[in-house]
Structure 1
Amino acid sequence: MVDFKEIRGEFPILNQEIHGHPLVYLDSAATSQKPNAVIDAEANFYRTINAGVHRGAHELAAARSTMAFEEARAKVAKLVGANAAEGEEEIVVTGGATAGLNLLATAFGNASLGRGGEAAKRFALKPGDEIVVSRAEHHSVLLPFQELAYRTGATFKWIDLTEDGRVRTDNLDEVITERTKVVAVTHVGNTTGAITNIAPIIKRAHEVGSIFILDACQSVPHLKVDFHALDVDFAAWSAHKMYGPTGVGFLYGKRELLEALPPANFGGSMVELAYMDHEAQYMAPPARFEAGTQPVAQVVAAGVAAEWMMNIGLENIEAHEKTIAAELLKLGDIDGIRILGPRENVDRIGTVAFDVAGVHPHDVGQFIDAQGIAIRVGHHCAQPVHRHFGLYASNRASSGVYNSVEDAQALVEAAKGIRKFFGVE
């Protein structure tokens, strides 16, 4: 039996008051808090084995720091069901999910220019080809692939949403066609909390020979994920949302696709041979995509975060947060409050965005913050989703492993007083 109250005690930041109230942190979809194990791992790296990885022959660089870096990669790979054996690695270190998605868009653009040779032609785009996303996408998916369409002349299309904000799967044959070359879809909506039914989307994408890319930012921290079982081609996510450090993320790719993909960033440690008078020869993945000095301490700490999550058990985390979600969904029972996303606690995580009639989201956020409760205010980098609901912004509560039913109840109780406070009842 997992003691989540005890787990909460591993997060030192939560032991404080905000505006005279005990802190209730319900903003994990933006960034999660860090347990002591992760904080200590990053600090201890600097204290004991800090050195440049994959370079240098001295003990710190050649053995200790490099080993810690690659062991962390293996832990992250295990978390998401990917390969980590030498020569078969499927995890690329990036600066975050946004960096990973931009890496893909840039690499596809390079392939479209003829870079990468024959193997890279599968990623090339031209006028008449199609790129498909969904209306539920975070801007970090929407914008890189929208820009890729502009650069290559490809047509940009999207899968629309159901009334309650789920990604539709009833018209995939119409949206994903024989001309579709790239499909990029979120696993879990960062505004609606809805878990996308990705199986039919992946199946349709592969039927037409398309590359399928998954935004896993909101699924890896909350659900048991196996990229091999899902049969995704690429996936990106950030460490800071899975109880790890900021400034680092990961890109998963099927090994054969990583081997065919041309590089997107250039510099040290990603080139086998460099010349003045002809083309360089680049290293095999993942090194090919890891130009320059990596955020080594952060990667090591992210590996600890992955191991920490696996020790708790992703099934246990999912079940715990489902209980929190049930309480947060009671926001929709309050007069004048509308939930943006599914009202039922099925195929969703504990992320609940809501609109308060007659009160600006920023005013709502300040009212809630005054009671020591941290939630998100704004469009959550997902403006098309908000337009789907006829809004420009909302408030969002999002849970993590450290939250309790009492945290959710505190928000619901606070929310009951919003409209009265602002005189709009």
Structure 2
Amino acid sequence: MNNLDIQAIRADFPILKREVNGKPLVYLDNGATTQKPQAVIDAIMAYYTDMNSNVHRGVHYLSQISTDAFEVTRRKVQEFIHAEHDYEVIITKGTTDSINLVATCYGQEFVHEGDEIIISAMEHHSNIVPWQMLCETKKAVLKVIPMNEAGELDMDAYAAMLNDKTKLVSVNYVSNALGTINPIREIIRLAHAKNVPVLLDAAQAVQHLKIDVQELDVDFLVFSGHKMYGPTGVGVLYGKEKWLNAMPPYQGGGDMIKDVSFEKTTYNELPFKFEAGTPNIEAGITLNAAIDYINSLGLDNIKAYEDDLLAYATERLQEVEGIRFIGTAKEKSSVISFVVDGTHPYDIGVILDKLGIAVRTGHHCAQPVMEQYGIPGTVRASLAVYNTKEEIDALVAGVKRAVAMLV
């Protein structure tokens, strides 16, 4: 069914060997952050042991090798998402930072009073709040694509929203709260028919699905390292060259300048124009190791395995009396959100934790989603390539035990 040796993969992740509350760790909170393979941990150690130095600044040896390693990651990201140019890859702090960069810089240049920005009803707060802030500042209008009970976007409503006032569409590729895989090709096609650029939040997609930004013809794409087996504090903004060149810088400081005088500053070329100050060098360099790890397994293999695991988990959890799945789209990635009649998600999460099972409970930074379903939050089990059917069995047994205690 798949070409992956899951036990060998699990052996690559040291933390999976530990116990929590005297039980073997069952880690099912991968939508929040993934665990790190030994290759990434070793790369972090190697950076501080062998090359720690600032980048893009020095002529000395350590600075040169650190700079070279940092730029290797940029080219590795370019290949990973099939960007046309490496300078279209901006290294940021993460998805949130990347979205804020576009909201600030694109918004400053292209959004004016009365203009409209379109997002969807299933966005993470980091793809809601920056646009609200922009619209408030610019006296623009934020429009929201509605979704149905299954957690699928109303594409007819979306098509009707697009007009001459629309300046940007910003939607997630995969919902962190529902697991829905959105019809992004159609979203982009309809927007481009009106000459509207599209930003894709791929934080929950790059570790599960192959992405080709040229084939998608997407204008901006953002994601985080820590959700794809890499370090925290690093992320990516991909932008088409024409948009990045047309946008003003995000922040002022070192690296983003060519010449500075008290009379005038000339900004640097791409990508450095958007990379002010000393970056998270260690994370930037070691993101390379995370991409290598994913490539070594193959995203097609990862997707096939995770799809099978998702189907198994969905089937097994139906055994829980009173369960209600939140997000039942036809196209889903490896997220299962649910509530159980007569219980609060937090209480189930606490009991699962006592059993060594890590899930996420709450609104998952997607409060409007929870409001639509009329619930305070969900229990979310989010899967990764190192999870197993035995761990799903433990989850199901744990939920049954929690429900028996709570109802």
Q: Is the 8 A contact 2:43 2:286 kept in 1?
A: yes
Deviation at 1:155, TM superposition (A): 0.9
Deviation at 1:394, TM superposition (A): 1.1
Deviation at 1:389, TM superposition (A): 1.1
Give distance in 1, aligned partners of 2:193 and 2:207: 30
Give distance in 2, aligned partners of 1:239 and 1:177: 35
The one-letter code matched in structure 2 to 1:195 is I
Find the residue that maps to 2:355 and give its secondary structure.
Answer: coil
Tell me which of 361, 364, 368 is aligned to 1:384. 368
Corresponding residue of 1:164: 150
Counterparts of 1:365-404 in structure 2 under 5 Å?
365-404=349-388
Corresponding residue of 1:3: 5
Find the residue that maps to 1:184 and give its secondary structure.
Answer: strand
Deviations 1:247-302 (A, max 9, x none): 11110111222122111111111001112123x11011110000000111111111
Give distance in 2, aligned partners of 1:133 and 1:386: 17
2:294 pairs with 1:309: yes
The one-letter code matched in structure 1 to 2:168 is V
Counterparts of 1:254-269 in structure 2 under 5 Å?
254-269=240-255
Deviation at 1:200, TM superposition (A): 1.4
Counterparts of 1:113-152 in structure 2 under 5 Å?
124-152=110-138
TM-score (norm 1): 0.93
Corresponding residue of 1:20: 22
Deviation at 1:2, TM superposition (A): 2.1
**What is the count of residue pairs matched by the alignment?**
404
Corresponding residue of 2:73: 72
The one-letter code matched in structure 2 to 1:212 is V
Give distance in 1, aligned partners of 2:297 and 2:244: 31
Corresponding residue of 2:339: 355
Find the residue that maps to 1:417 and give its secondary structure.
Answer: helix
Find the residue that maps to 2:374 and give its secondary structure.
Answer: coil
Deviations 1:344-393 (A, max 9, x none): xx421111111121111111101111111100011000001111111121
Counterparts of 1:89-104 in structure 2 under 5 Å?
89-104=87-102
Corresponding residue of 2:84: 83
Corresponding residue of 2:37: 35
Which range is displaced more, 332-341 or 260-269?
332-341
Corresponding residue of 2:270: 285
Give distance in 1, aligned partners of 2:402 and 2:24: 20
Which range is displaced more, 346-355 or 166-175?
166-175
Give distance in 1, aligned partners of 2:373 and 2:393: 25
Corresponding residue of 1:408: 392
Gaps (5+ residues) in structure 2?
Answer: none
Deviation at 1:327, TM superposition (A): 2.1
The one-letter code matched in structure 2 to 1:328 is A
Sort the Cα spacing of 1:312 and 1:80 in 2 relative to 1 into closer, same or farther, 3 A: same
Deviations 1:136-166 (A, max 9, x none): 0000000001111111111110101121112
Corresponding residue of 2:402: 418
Give distance in 1, aligned partners of 2:40 and 2:224: 15
Which range is displaced more, 127-136 or 169-178?
169-178
Q: Is the 8 A contact 2:119 2:145 kept in 1?
A: yes
Give distance in 1, aligned partners of 2:372 and 2:120: 12
Sort the Cα spacing of 1:83 and 1:303 in 2 relative to 1 into closer, same or farther, 3 A: farther
Counterparts of 1:197-276 in structure 2 under 5 Å?
197-276=183-262
Q: Is the 8 A contact 1:220 1:242 kept in 2?
A: yes
Give distance in 1, aligned partners of 2:107 and 2:160: 25
Give distance in 2, aligned partners of 1:109 and 1:192: 29
The one-letter code matched in structure 2 to 1:97 is T
Q: Is the 8 A contact 2:94 2:235 kept in 1?
A: yes
Corresponding residue of 1:296: 281
RMSD: 1.2
Give distance in 2, aligned partners of 1:75 and 1:21: 38
Find the residue that maps to 1:352 and give its secondary structure.
Answer: strand
2:106 pairs with 1:108: yes
Deviation at 1:40, TM superposition (A): 0.6
Give distance in 2, aligned partners of 1:419 and 1:402: 27
The one-letter code matched in structure 2 to 1:242 is M
Gaps (5+ residues) in structure 1?
Answer: 112-123
2:341 pairs with 1:322: no
Q: Is the 8 A contact 2:4 2:297 kept in 1?
A: yes
Q: Is the 8 A contact 1:27 1:398 kept in 2?
A: yes
Deviation at 1:334, TM superposition (A): 2.0
Deviations 1:56-94 (A, max 9, x none): 111111x21111000011112211111345xxx211000
Deviation at 1:333, TM superposition (A): 4.1
Corresponding residue of 1:55: 57
Q: Is the 8 A contact 2:34 2:226 kept in 1?
A: yes
Q: Is the 8 A contact 1:165 1:192 kept in 2?
A: yes
Give distance in 1, aligned partners of 2:246 and 2:320: 53
The one-letter code matched in structure 2 to 1:106 is T
Give distance in 1, aligned partners of 2:403 and 2:53: 55
